[in-house]
A and B are shown apart, each in its own frame.
Chain A
């Protein structure tokens, strides 16, 4: 047996006080989460499988693109023309897949963070320490987004493969990745907020999925209704997309990647020449921005034999570019703001601690005098 050590107890004072060193203090909750999850064999397996699937999807997109273009040309592909089309198809397809993955994984992963602590009864153990509620929530947010961030960033090397084909600028990839990361943080924040107010992980996950569905499907549906109403009242105003679309991550991704529109005529009847998964929603981008501005100019550049396979399809019309609305930044901002609200809700919720919460109180009401704690 030893005496319980007193922090800062018996210690010989050094002759000269050592110079204080600045140390980065990692949030303990984040550190524990990373320790708990990232070093497990399951994490390694998941990342390996994910990268394999991502590579497979990239290859599949390439093969599909080649097949479609071959059918369109009706002859052997001209690399100078087909390369950029394939590059854009690959980038938009990959980022679309990663965004869907984030929207699918983030609710399940982040929503389990707080309710999971509650279910395994570790939350009151955290609350009774000197950690502030905001530290607990931010640690959880960091843990959730660190993993998702890794999955998103892992797409960069594969997405960069599109540069070899052409039709894609590094900015397209970087903006797209940044948008997906912002959406990941936003959804994780919302999930934490939901997780803090629901008792069960299952309930938290279902509620967060409902929120994500509302952001993606609900905003799309409402935008469609608004378009119908506008059409009935005298035409569409392409300069002014429905406001609800700014909550739609696909809308932001379409702008970030300058996705081809479905109505673009590039010789084959598909946006940018190949069927972009973002083509339909890209139609709603403000007319002055997106691929509208670059479409025809880029077409010339894409075919410029002096540029070869690496083509920068930036808008040539400078006047048009100045008017361009940073849609993807607004969408990213909306998601980050929603995430911040979620974090605020979770922090506020954790400030009032009642181990067992409503369920515990109900149980106590029922069981007072019968069983369990008192």
Chain B
């Protein structure tokens, strides 16, 4: 098979996924998966837009891995429907497998193979012809910064390097969707930063990335959208701001004021007038308040403060990161 022809064939294989090009990357409706009497996933709905970096968060046993396995064709749901770019992972396994790259929370070691051979093997398993495999191997090793370890036995790599090689493995057939299950698990901070940078780079290239992690601060930095699941059920999904707003009837705001105590007293009065609760000031001139409602009410308060002659130099929503959001949304349900 010639190189150009091989390339055409691979391109054709990619085209096989095109009917679903307009569809969201992942659409899950009413997904149910039971393990014995336990419902690991219980009527889950999920929408991952194409091109998004989507975080799947939830406590242990929430159903994240099960959901990811169902999306990755590795688990047949008991009920419900899953679509990956319009393809059914149960009935169109091969079409879905061409479109996804699945990275589990374990590496899967083949002792005795070098990094290059490891990637070459998985390239062959995806049906890539030899010359293309060799090019992919070189490029992917460069992407995950393992070119220098090309001929090193995979067993001799550090955990972080193994994770990066695992990520390269998921990319070997150029999938459109990456399903990364706890990719940063067990990595030291440096390795986590490296991995995060690679994921960012992939997102920049337009890959859709579905990622689960326990390190919520990192997910917060990476993800456009998140879904919070607990006990197999979807609690919330959307952008962090949308979830926060949906999860709470109040909005916490924080304002930096100039003008000393007088200005602060006036600001407290204005806030109280606007119906804010838990109003307090700090010696550095920061005002904290919780307003009933959402961003509209926050904007109204800012206007009222300025209208009352309070000099405001900074005004924003005061919220914690994804971790705080996660804690506020989940209930700690354990099955």
Interface contact A131-B125, CB-CB below 8 Å: yes
A374: chain B residues at CB < 8 Å are 40, 58-66
Bound together, the chains give a CA A371 to CA B66 distance in angstroms of: 14
- Given A13-B4, A368-B61, A373-B65: A122 and B231 interface contact (C-beta under 8 Å): no
Given A7-B132, A21-B2, A128-B72: A368 and B35 interface contact (C-beta under 8 Å)? yes
Interchain CB contact under 8 A, B136 and A5: yes
Tell me the minimal C-beta distance from A368 to chain B in angstroms: 4
User: How far apart sit A37 and B110, CA to CA, in the bound complex (Å)?
Assistant: 11
- Residue contact A8 to B7, C-beta cutoff 8 Å: yes
Contact with A along B185-200 (1 / 0, CB 8 A): 0000000000000000
**Which residues of the other chain, A, contact B142 by a CB distance below 8 angstroms?**
2
* B100 / chain A contacts, CB cutoff of 8 Å: 128
Q: Which of B19-27, B168-176, B312-320, B321-329 contacts A (4 or more CB under 8 A)?
A: B168-176
Which A residues between 79 and 128 are near B, CB-CB below 8 angstroms?
A: 120-122, 124-128
Residue of B2, B117, B127, B231 near A130 (CB, 8 A) is: B127
Chain A hits for B37, CB < 8 A: 365
Q: Is A175 an interface residue (CB 8 A)?
A: no
- Tell me how far the C-beta of B86 lies from the nearest C-beta in chain A, rounded to whole angstroms: 19
Choose one: A39, A40, A373; the contact of B105 (CB below 8 Å): A373
Whether B102 contacts A8 by the Cβ 8 Å rule is: no
CB <8 Å contact, A122 and B110 = yes
Interface of A is mostly: loop
Residue count of chain A within 8 Å CB distance of chain B: 54
Known: A8-B7, A374-B64. A361 touches B36 (CB 8 A): yes
A354 at the interface (CB under 8 A from B): yes
Question: Within B118-152, which residues are at the interface with A (CB < 8 Å)?
Answer: 121-122, 124-128, 130, 132, 135-136, 139-140, 142-143
Q: Is the CB of A370 within 8 A of B74?
A: no
Contact A36 B113 (CB under 8 A): yes
Chain A residues numbered 1-58 whose CB sits less than 8 Å from any CB in chain B: 1-9, 11, 13-14, 17-21, 23, 28-29, 31-32, 35-37, 39-40
The answer to the question of A372 belonging to the interface, with a C-beta cut-off of 8 Å to chain B, is yes
Contacts of B63 in A (CB 8 A): 374
* B window 223-260: CB within 8 A of A: 231
Q: What are the residues of chain A within 8 A of B273 when measuring CB–CB?
A: none
**When the two chains form their complex, are residues B112 and A40 in contact, meaning their CB atoms are under 8 A apart?**
yes
In the complex, the answer to whether B110 meets A11 with C-beta atoms within 8 Å is no
A369 close to chain B: CB less than 8 A: yes
* Residues from chain A with Cβ under 8 Å of B36 in the complex: 361-362, 365
Tell me which residues across on chain A come within 8 A of B66, comparing CB atoms.
364, 374
- Interface contacts beyond A4-B202, A32-B113, A353-B74: sample of 9 additional A-B pairs, CB < 8 Å, sorted by A: A7-B7, A32-B117, A128-B97, A353-B75, A370-B61, A371-B61, A373-B64, A374-B58, A374-B65
**Can you name 22 A-B pairs with beta carbons within 8 Å?**
A1-B201, A3-B205, A6-B174, A7-B174, A8-B132, A11-B3, A17-B5, A21-B1, A36-B111, A121-B104, A125-B169, A127-B74, A128-B73, A128-B74, A129-B126, A130-B126, A354-B75, A368-B38, A368-B61, A370-B61, A373-B65, A374-B65
